Amino acid sequence: MQAIERNGLQLDLENSSSIEKIRLQTSTEVTAVKNADLILVCVKSTDSESVAQDIAPHLLTHAVIVSLQNGVENAMLIARYVKNAVIPAVVYVASEITVPGYVKHHGRGDVVIGAMSSLRPPHSHQTLTDIAELFASAQIAVRISDNVMRELWSKLMINCAFNAISGLSQLTYGKLAERDSIRSTQTDVVKEVIAVAKADGVVLSEPDALHTVANLATAMAGQKSSTAQDMARHKISEIDHLNGFIVRRGYAHGIATPVNQALYALVKLVESTYAESAP
Amino acid sequence: MQAIERNGLQLDLENSSSIEKIRLQTSTEVTAVKNADLILVCVKSTDSESVAQDIAPHLLTHAVIVSLQNGVENAMLIARYVKNAVIPAVVYVASEITVPGYVKHHGRGDVVIGAMSSLRPPHSHQTLTDIAELFASAQIAVRISDNVMRELWSKLMINCAFNAISGLSQLTYGKLAERDSIRSTQTDVVKEVIAVAKADGVVLSEPDALHTVANLATAMAGQKSSTAQDMARHKISEIDHLNGFIVRRGYAHGIATPVNQALYALVKLVESTYAESAP
C-alpha cells in the first residue's frame, strides 16, 4: 500500500512497451467501503468470511460486491454476511507481484461474471451489464455467463490440475506439460474434480476439460501458479480452497479423490515447515 | 573410495559412544570380484543390470551374489546375466553418508535373506545358513525367510509410502506421520501396492501393512528417505524402481495406481531440473 501511495500502481502489461503508472487512493480500513457503489473483493479465499463480516456494517444498500477470487464458494460465503448483491467473477489472468506495487502481467486478463441464483437479493441483468460496461471502459473484457458456477468450477478444475504441482516443483505450466507422467496425473485430478462437480450439480465435460488443461499449458507456458508464488515466499497458499475443497466435497458425497488428496497433503506438509524457516 | 583408503570406513553407530574405523581394500574395477566367494551388490537399482553384465565374466563358479537393494526385481535382473546363485536380501536400516567414507547410522540394521525359487542354480539352504552365520559373526542380524519375495514387496510398499513424500518435502518420517492428510495418502499408496502385489502373486495383508507404516514412522522418526537424500544432492533417485515400478506393474495388470503415479510424476518432474541447477 505504501508503495502504491508513493509510486502509483505500476502495471507492466504483456505486449506493452511502457509501464502504466496508476494513481490510487489506498486504505487498510474497512470503513473505506462506506461510499462505494462497487466493491471488488480480491482477498485470498481464506479471508473471504472475515472480510465480509468486517465490511457488512459499512456498505451502502445499493452497493454491489464482485468476488474476483479462486474457488467456487466465495460469493456464497460473502452473501452470508451482507444483504447486498454478490456477483461471482472468474478471472483469467497470468500475472505476479514481483515487488510491492508492481504487477507483472504475463497473459490474458479477461473476466466472466454472472448471477448466482441462490443469492439474495436477486440482482438484475442490468447490474451485470453495467459492470461489464464499466470494465470494458477500462479495456478489460468481461463476458456475462448464464452459468457462472460452471465457469467457476472449470477454473477450479484448472487450479487443481496446475497449482499444487507447479508449487511443489516450482516449475512453469509449460515445464509441467512436457512430461507424460504429469499430464497423466493432471488427467486423474480432472476426473476427480468432474465427479465431485457432478455430485454438486455442475456438469463439466471431460474432453473439454482436458482440452482446456492442454491449452493453458501452451497459452501460459511461462507462468508459475499462485500456489508456487506463495510457496516460494513461504506464505500459506489457497490450497484449502482448491484441491482441499475437492477432497472435502468428495468426502461429503462419498467420492474418492486420492490424487487431489495427495497433492493437497503434500502442499500442506511443506507449508507446515514455514514457521521454522525463512524462504 | 579415496576417503575410505585414507581414513578407513568410518561407522558412526546409533547408541555407540565411539566411531568405528574399518580398514578396507577398495577398487572401482569390476575385475576385483575375481577371487571373491561372496559378492554383496549394493548399487542403486538403476545400475543392477549393467553391474551384473560387467562382473559376470569374472566370477568364480561357486561365488554367491547377494542383492542388498531396494525394489523387488534386482535379484531377478542380476540372475539374467550370471550363472551364479543370486540371493535377494531385504535391508532394514536407517542411515546416511554425511561425508565421503562416513556412515551415520540412525537405527536398525537387520537383514532378511531367502531363496528365489525362479533362480538357477537353486541354492541350498546351507548357502543361506552360511551367509547368516557370516553376517552374525559381524554382529549383523540376519533372518532366513521362506518367503523373501513377500518381504521384498513389504519393504517396497514402505518405500512407496515414505520415499517420495519425504523427498518432495525434505522432511523426516516423524514429521510425515504427524499429519492426518499424509497418513491418508500413505494408506492410498499402500492399497495400490497391495493390489499390484496380489496381481504379481504376492499376498500382503492391509492391516499388517498399515501397522508397519505407522511403526516405521515411530521407529525411524528422525530419518529422511534415501530419495530425500538423493534429491537434496540433485542426484537421480531410485523412484523408477519404487513408485514407478508400481505404476508400470499396475499398468501391465490393468490396475489403477493414481497415487503412486502422482508421487512418481512429481519426483521425476523435480529431477528433470537437476541438469540446470546445482543443489
Q: Are strands B64-68 and A102-113 parallel, antiparallel or unpaired?
A: unpaired
Let me know: does A154 contact A204? Beta carbons within 8 Å. Answer: yes
More confident call, B78 vs A275? B78
Instruction: Using the predicted structure, report yes or no on whether residue A219 has a pLDDT greater than 90.
Output: no
Residues of chain B in contact with residue A265, where contact means CB-CB under 8 angstroms, are: 179, 181-182, 184-185
The span from the CA of B171 to the CA of B145, in Å, is 32
The span from the CA of A168 to the CA of A82, in Å, is 37
Cβ-based contacts under 8 A for chains A and B? 87
Tell if the CB–CB gap between A169 and B262 is shorter than 8 Å. Answer: no
Type of residue numbered B27: S
* pLDDT averaged over every residue in chain B: 93
Residue of B nearest to A191 (CA): B258
Residues of chain B in contact with residue A171, where contact means CB-CB under 8 angstroms, are: 269, 273
Q: What's the longest Cα–Cα distance across chain A?
A: 53
- Residues A54-73 pLDDT 10s: 999 999 999 999 999 998 99
Tell if the CB–CB gap between A165 and B263 is shorter than 8 Å. Answer: no
Instruction: Using the predicted structure, report yes or no on whether residue A225 has a pLDDT greater than 90.
Output: yes
Residue whose entry in the numeric block shows the C-alpha cell 578407513: B8
Other CB atoms within 10 Å distance of the CB of residue A21: 11
A170, A176, A181, A186: best mutation site toward chain B, by most B Cβ within 10 Å? Answer: A181
The span from the CA of B38 to the CA of B132, in Å, is 12
Tell if the CB–CB gap between B169 and A273 is shorter than 8 Å. Answer: yes
Residue of A nearest to B270 (CA): A169
Cα separations in angstroms, A157 against A47, A164, B191? 21, 12, 26
* Cell matching residue B265: 510424476
Residue B15 pLDDT grade (very low, low, confident, very high; cuts 50, 70, 90): confident
DSSP state of B41: E
Q: Whose CA is closest to A158, among A127, A119, A194, A128?
A: A194
Residues of chain B in contact with residue A263, where contact means CB-CB under 8 angstroms, are: 262
Q: Indicate the residue of A169, A262, A270 with minimum beta-carbon distance to B263.
A: A262
Instruction: Give the pLDDT of residue A12.
Output: 95
CA A68, A70, A71, A77 torsion-angle sign: negative
Residues of chain A in contact with residue B276, where contact means CB-CB under 8 angstroms, are: none
Exposure pattern of B1-20 as b/e (b: 16+ CB <10 Å)? eeebeeeebbbbbeeeeeee
Nearest chain B Cα distance for residue A76, angstroms: 27
Residues of chain B in contact with residue A187, where contact means CB-CB under 8 angstroms, are: none
Q: Whose CA is closest to B268, among A231, A185, A266?
A: A185
Query: How high is the ipTM of this complex?
Result: 0.86
Cross-strand bridge partners of residue A97? A103
Residue of A nearest to B260 (CA): A259
Q: Are strands A38-41 and A64-68 parallel, antiparallel or unpaired?
A: parallel
H-run or E-run covering B92: strand B85-99
Tell if the CB–CB gap between B168 and A266 is shorter than 8 Å. Answer: yes
Long-range contacts of residues A116-124, Cβ cutoff 8 Å, at least 24 apart: A116/A75, A116/A76, A116/A79, A116/A86, A116/A87, A116/A88, A116/A148, A116/A149, A118/A76, A119/A75, A119/A76, A119/A79, A119/A85, A119/A86, A120/A79, A120/A83, A121/A83, A121/A85, A122/A85, A123/A64, A123/A85, A123/A87
Residues of chain A in contact with residue B273, where contact means CB-CB under 8 angstroms, are: 169, 171, 175
The span from the CA of A87 to the CA of A3, in Å, is 30
Tell if the CB–CB gap between A258 and B179 is shorter than 8 Å. Answer: no
What is the reported pTM?
0.87
Residue A278 pLDDT grade (very low, low, confident, very high; cuts 50, 70, 90): low
* Neighbouring C-alpha atoms within 13 Å toward the C-beta of A234: 8
Nearest chain A Cα distance for residue B219, angstroms: 20
The span from the CA of A196 to the CA of A193, in Å, is 5
Contact residues of B toward A, CB < 8 A: 165, 168-169, 171, 175-176, 178-179, 181-182, 184-185, 188, 258-259, 261-266, 268-270, 272-273
Residue A220 pLDDT grade (very low, low, confident, very high; cuts 50, 70, 90): confident
Instruction: Give the pLDDT of residue A187.
Output: 98
Tell if the CB–CB gap between A269 and B182 is shorter than 8 Å. Answer: yes
Instruction: Using the predicted structure, report yes or no on whether residue B118 has a pLDDT greater than 60.
Output: no
Tell if the CB–CB gap between B269 and A184 is shorter than 8 Å. Answer: no
Residue A279 pLDDT grade (very low, low, confident, very high; cuts 50, 70, 90): low
Q: Indicate the residue of A169, A178, A184 with minimum beta-carbon distance to B261.
A: A184
Query: Rg of chain A over CA atoms, in angstroms?
Result: 19
The span from the CA of B10 to the CA of B17, in Å, is 13
Residue B144 pLDDT grade (very low, low, confident, very high; cuts 50, 70, 90): very high
